[in-house]
A and B are shown apart, each in its own frame.
Chain A
Amino acid sequence: MIWSKQEILPREEIEAIQLSRLQETVARVYEKVAPYRKKMDEAGIRPSDIQSLSDLARLPFVTKRDLRDNYPFGMFAVPKEELVRIHASSGTTGKPTVVGYTQNDLDVWTECVSRVACMGGATEKDVAQICFGYGMFTGALGLHYGLERIGAAIVPSSTGNSEKQIMYMQDFETSLLVATPSYALRLAEVARSMGIDPAKDLKVKIGLVGSELLTDAMREEMRKYWGKDMLITSNYGMSELNGPGVSGECEYLCGMHINEDFYIPEIIDSETGEVLPAGEKGELVITCIKKEGLPLIRYRTKDITRLFYEKCKCGRTFCRMENLSGRSDDMLKVRGVNVFPGQIEEVIFGFEELGPHYEIIVEREGYLDKMTIRVELVHSTDSFAELERLRNAIRAKLRTVLGLDAKIMLESPNTLQRFEGKAKRIKDLRSK
């Protein structure tokens, strides 16, 4: 089902909406947000210069740094009195990033999430259990209001207390699960330890996952536990862009449809800042064109993807962004080679003997980087030869995929740390 008529507008109409909203937004931030005015003056561009969508590329970028430098409200375009909600990112690397919403912003956000949830198969009949942490993080409340608007029954169970989560699923007949992919796997593990087979004994048929990468291998792994016919879609967003609801996958799983009447996407070369043509891989840059509280223009997401503009089989005309191959933040450079955790994950999921959890440790020995990957051996063998064969097979596969040698450490099940929110799988012990 398609939630809004906007999603199937012809391209010209989408672009007409984008241009008028962009012009309005740029004029407003130039007038009301000092740091923007300064940036635009330095770049020698005025709001009246925005005559077509291609003029967007003339505007300066905004980064997370700008938000930190203007902490807490310096980038806001409305007085604090007009805000009705404030969220913040975790701020693990210093001050958090603060985002604020007017009532209209919340309405737009909810609309965007409803569309995305609808794409992922949600209907008013669903019982939706939200296993994202509630709080300053935007994921939980974003999905909460979007699904509620659709008419689903919300179970705001948050994270933690996994056995109780399974009990709710069983007793309330939860049909839709919202979680990070890694927490969804953890919940399946807990269910099994309680003697409950999620695929047979629970009624969860839809998974809306986000806040972590969803590789095809991870989707397969999730289906292995939750059921072959579960529809698992990923959705995308970040608190700076309201939260979830920027884009989401439909049932054809061919990329995430971006809500283009609210967000204009661009792909740039992250080194040079040049805009790349459709279909090329680069950093995603998003401009919010219908945001009052914190209207970010050309915000650098640091996420690496590609854009496709061909119409989707589902009927939507909004462009699609490919499922992320990685965040530039998550990328590791090991002995000069770029490594994305997703690549390692795909290799690990290919081995039946291993569980879905892993940890990547990078250390420096002398002048050389050394990578160790800890995995859990779920099915043991009775001979060392078999164990060695397995280790060598994993190593060889990783070498093919990454072009790097890694040491494989086999661990017992339930040894590695489990995560309820975003999984932290990398331990980089090299001094920076």
Chain B
Amino acid sequence: MDFGLLAFSIFSTIAILGSIMVILKKSPVAAAFSLVLVFFAFAGLYALMGAHLVAALQILVYTGAIMVLFVFVIMLLSQDEPVNDLKESSGLFKGVSVLGILGLMGLLIRAVLTARGMVPTGTLTDEKIVSMGGNVRLISEGIFTDHVFHFELTSFLLLGAVVSTVALAKRKAVSGGSKA
């Protein structure tokens, strides 16, 4: 068995088991950490496909930033007793959910089967990317030349989000406002 296949089997097993654990774990923190496992396994899969930058970004952004956010929210909500409302949901709801999931799965399988043997089209082939200096270089050049307007606009979006959060979160600052 060659190394690639072995690594793929390990990473995909971790990903599948991790995803199942995310749903089955009763404690939100345990579920969140199972999700970290899934993200790590995904990063491994990306690296296997040769997308090293995506793998690194996956760990930095998802495992680093987004998971910290998840854990913070869980801590802030501090939900002590685990909620298990699936048992109380109606049979119709369960049936519709299962049908929806099966439909989505069928769609994905069909997409994978259709795409078998297809090769990506486009001007950027693997060799060309290497000759132009690699993914990191291409993406950073793209961000700061062609897409600099998107980039700057997005920073103002984030700035607006930060100011909005502060404005709405500091409730005590209001004095003598209208009484509801």
Tell me if chain B binds chain A. no
Q: Give chain A's interface residues, CB within 8 Å of chain B.
A: none
